[in-house]
Amino acid sequence: MSSIHIPEICGAMLLPDCTLFPHGGLPLHVFEPRYRQMLEETLADSCFFAVACLTGKETENPAECTAPVGTVGLVRASREMDDGSSNLLLHGVIRVRFTEWVDDAPYPKARISPIPAVFEPESQSESAIESLREAAESATRQLPDDVRSTVMEMSKQIDDPAILADVICQQFLHQPEERQQMLETESVAARIAWLCRELAS
């Protein structure tokens, strides 16, 4: 993460019932003129823009209608279509807090503050990872063997509790309210405890 420079101000796509987690992927179809311009400028610059979840009907002031925490993503692939729209894959990089909405572009734009993901206490990180893996195994018991084995193999390759928690959130949580709640929970330990309870049940 230290080698990636996150811009202080970036464009933001405001989407209803949509939460992107760090290390997750989000396919998008960009067709609105304002977001087409945002994508064009993003690709010419840092390739980063944020996803913000709408909390109600969109208004002229994003601060009134969006959740305070979103995710900055990196455009991994983008293909422009004949009609000017684009299909792209956004890869989540880091949680951010929207500290100020900047009104200098036809698309939403915000000053952002990164929210680091640090598991504390570090001495308990291995037990936290093991608890998450066990919870994921429990949650996949009713799934086909190939799906279950893929999920478990993926979890074994991740040795960072914060990353594993976000990957599991991206894959297993489907309710918009729960997804946004987990995105806004800054404590990695609290996220893991909540996930273990939910997956076990």
- How far, in Å, CA of 134 to CA of 196, rounded? 8
For residue 2, is pLDDT > 70? Answer: no
Q: Give the H or E element holding residue 150.
A: helix 145-156
pLDDT at site 1: 46
Residue for token pair 């209803």: 16
- How far, in Å, CA of 194 to CA of 66, rounded? 24
Query: pLDDT over 70 for what percent of the chain?
Result: 99
| Beta carbons of 27 and 176 less than 8 angstroms apart | no
- How far, in Å, CA of 172 to CA of 155, rounded? 13
pLDDT at site 148: 78
pLDDT band at 3 (very low <50, low <70, confident <90, very high): low
Topology of the domain covering 9-115: 2.30.130
Please state the rounded mean pLDDT for residues 165-189: 94
pLDDT at site 147: 75
pLDDT band at 27 (very low <50, low <70, confident <90, very high): very high
For residue 57, is pLDDT > 90? Answer: yes
- How far, in Å, CA of 41 to CA of 189, rounded? 37
Please state the rounded mean pLDDT for residues 79-89: 96
Please state the rounded mean pLDDT for residues 140-150: 80
- How far, in Å, CA of 16 to CA of 54, rounded? 5
- How far, in Å, CA of 189 to CA of 123, rounded? 12
pLDDT at site 23: 94
Domain ranges of the chain: 9-115, 122-200
Per the structure block, which two tokens stand in for 155? Answer: 């979890």
Other C-beta atoms lying within 10 Å of the C-beta of residue 24: 17
Lowest mean pLDDT across 25-39, 116-130, 176-190: 116-130
